[in-house]
Amino acid sequence: MKKQTPQDAAYLCPGETHPISRAVHLGRLAAFYPGCRQCPHRYDTGTLSPTQVEQLAETSPRGEPRSLFHDEGAGGVYLNDLAPAAARDIAAAFGVAVRLPVGSQAPGPNPSVVLADDGRPLTVELVAAVGEGLRWSGCDVIDIGPATAACLAFAVHHLQTDGALLVGNPSNEPRIVGLQFWAAGPRPLSTGGALEPIAELYRAGVDRPVRVEGQLRRFQANVPYLAGFAEHYHALRPLRVVVESASKPLIDYLKKLATTVACQVIPSRVAQSDLAEQVRADAAHFAVCVDGDGETCRVLDQTGRIVPPERLLPALSLLQPPMTGGSPQTVVLEEGTSPAVVRRLEQLGLGVVGGGVRRADMAAAMQRVGAMLGGGVSGRFWHIESGVPLPDGLMTITQLLKLLSRTDEPLSTVLDREAVPE
């Protein structure tokens, strides 16, 4: 029997399923292929030059394992950090956590989990892996396709599911993929609560809780979600808004809603740093930069000046109707919000409650006090939609359209009138 030589041996790159030859392995090392930083064979440098070997040693620390989990979920650079195999295992850990909540002794019927993505071709392979992991863990998956985080959370409430998972892009960076999780309610999962058990299950590895895979079905969640916006899209001025976002679903939603009124949605044609020039060139009434999950908003007024998120809160609060019995509404503020904002909201007769920093904390505070509006320095504005508190960029844009439709004044003037005192 012929003894296998290094030249005959097969090498398997991290995150890949098909082996490669040693020649390809050495070629990838020479080209500083990202996967090589985590490869157990990275020290097999063969005929590489001493200079190349030295450069590989310098870049090796970059490949040291790091946690995929962060304050609001998990994720990283596509393939370099988050490969399909890792995405599947994280989804399986989430599925087991949903199926066997802390303190439970035995699994019940298959839980249902809503699955969505941000519509990028980049996420197709990861969505398939996530769906496989959820079904492997015994969860029935309801795939709603490309959607914003708010639409996904709405679907959890609408369908009364046990959880949800979004394969999205919270950072707006082209190759970053983020996984966000929701429990029933919907309740977003953040650190300091229900996210840690998922991370622990992922690191420890999970045993399959059932022998039969969960079912898969599809649902058009955008139909009932957008139906809730219909009441806002009438009697609006013919406003022009420039939108810069990596969230294709959000832009599609906004364009569809705008067809019922005279408003014009203008997609960004320039880099975010040059957006002010486009605002002025298109004579837009304002512009918004929305993250890839459709949650946070950065607003520019009609002159192209950036509006600090806190400055929008007093103006947006004017659109909130009084509670039953004439009681004032309550606004939930993120930790770190300026005391001047608190004073201004109180001057407007509003109650003010602190909500924390993380999404889970804000959602819990909104629900606890029955607030209709929340926000702060992050640019993530919370609204009540169908009785559920959601950080929704689409609703924030909608509220700005309504605000400007109440007057002929430009956005800067409206904000100056409700300005936070120095």
Amino acid type, 419: A
Q: How would residue 23 be classed by pLDDT, with cut points 50, 70 and 90? A: confident
Q: How would residue 107 be classed by pLDDT, with cut points 50, 70 and 90? A: low
Residue with tokens 């659109």: 319
Give the residue-averaged pLDDT of 347-356. 92
Q: How would residue 1 be classed by pLDDT, with cut points 50, 70 and 90? A: very low
Q: Nearest-CA neighbor of 320 among 359, 341, 351, 361?
A: 351
The full set of domain ranges for the chain reads 1-64, 69-221, 228-417
The pLDDT value recorded for residue 11 is: 73
Taking each continuous run of H as one helix and of E as one strand, the counts in the chain are 14, 18
Q: Nearest-CA neighbor of 403 among 319, 330, 281?
A: 319
CA 90 to chain centre: 16
Residue 101 has pLDDT above 70, yes or no: no
Do the beta carbons of residue 117 and residue 127 sit within 8 Å? yes
Min mean pLDDT across 63-72, 238-247, 274-283 is at 63-72
The pLDDT value recorded for residue 51 is: 75
Tokens encoding 255 = 């364009």
Quote the longest CA-to-CA distance of the chain: 89
CA 334 to chain centre: 18
Q: How would residue 180 be classed by pLDDT, with cut points 50, 70 and 90? A: very high
Residue 9 has pLDDT above 60, yes or no: no
Tokens encoding 419 = 């300005």
The pLDDT value recorded for residue 95 is: 96
- What predicted TM-score, i.e. pTM, was given to this entire model? 0.83
The 10s digit of each residue's pLDDT in 25-80 is 777 777 767 667 667 677 777 777 777 766 666 665 454 446 899 999 999 999 98
Question: CA distances (Å), 182 to each of 87, 141, 159, 360, 405, in order?
Answer: 16, 14, 14, 9, 35
Fold of 228-417: Alpha-D-Glucose-1,6-Bisphosphate; Chain A, domain 3 (3.40.120)
The pLDDT value recorded for residue 373 is: 96
Which stretches within 208-324 are classed as H helix? Answer: 222-227, 248-258, 275-281, 309-317
- Fold agreement between 69-221 and 228-417: yes
Amino acid type, 401: L
> How many residues appear in the chain?
422
Q: How would residue 401 be classed by pLDDT, with cut points 50, 70 and 90? A: very high
pLDDT above 90: percentage of residues in the chain: 70
- State how far the Cα of 132 lies from the Cα of 89, in Å rounded to an integer: 9
Tokens encoding 190 = 């953040």
Residue 2 has pLDDT above 70, yes or no: no
DSSP string, 41-105: TTT--TT--HHHHHHHHHHGGGGS---SEETTEEEEEBTTTB-HHHHHHHHHHHHHHHHS-TT--
Residue with tokens 């009785």: 387
The 10s digit of each residue's pLDDT in 283-323 is 999 999 999 999 999 999 999 999 999 999 999 998 877 65
Residue 168 has pLDDT above 70, yes or no: yes
Amino acid type, 245: S
Do the beta carbons of residue 383 and residue 305 sit within 8 Å? no
Amino acid type, 77: V
Residue 104 has pLDDT above 60, yes or no: no
Q: How would residue 5 be classed by pLDDT, with cut points 50, 70 and 90? A: very low
- State how far the Cα of 420 lies from the Cα of 390, in Å rounded to an integer: 25
The architecture of the domain spanning 69-221 is 3-Layer(aba) Sandwich (3.40)
Min mean pLDDT across 25-34, 76-85, 258-267 is at 25-34
**Whole-angstrom Cα Rg for the chain:** 24
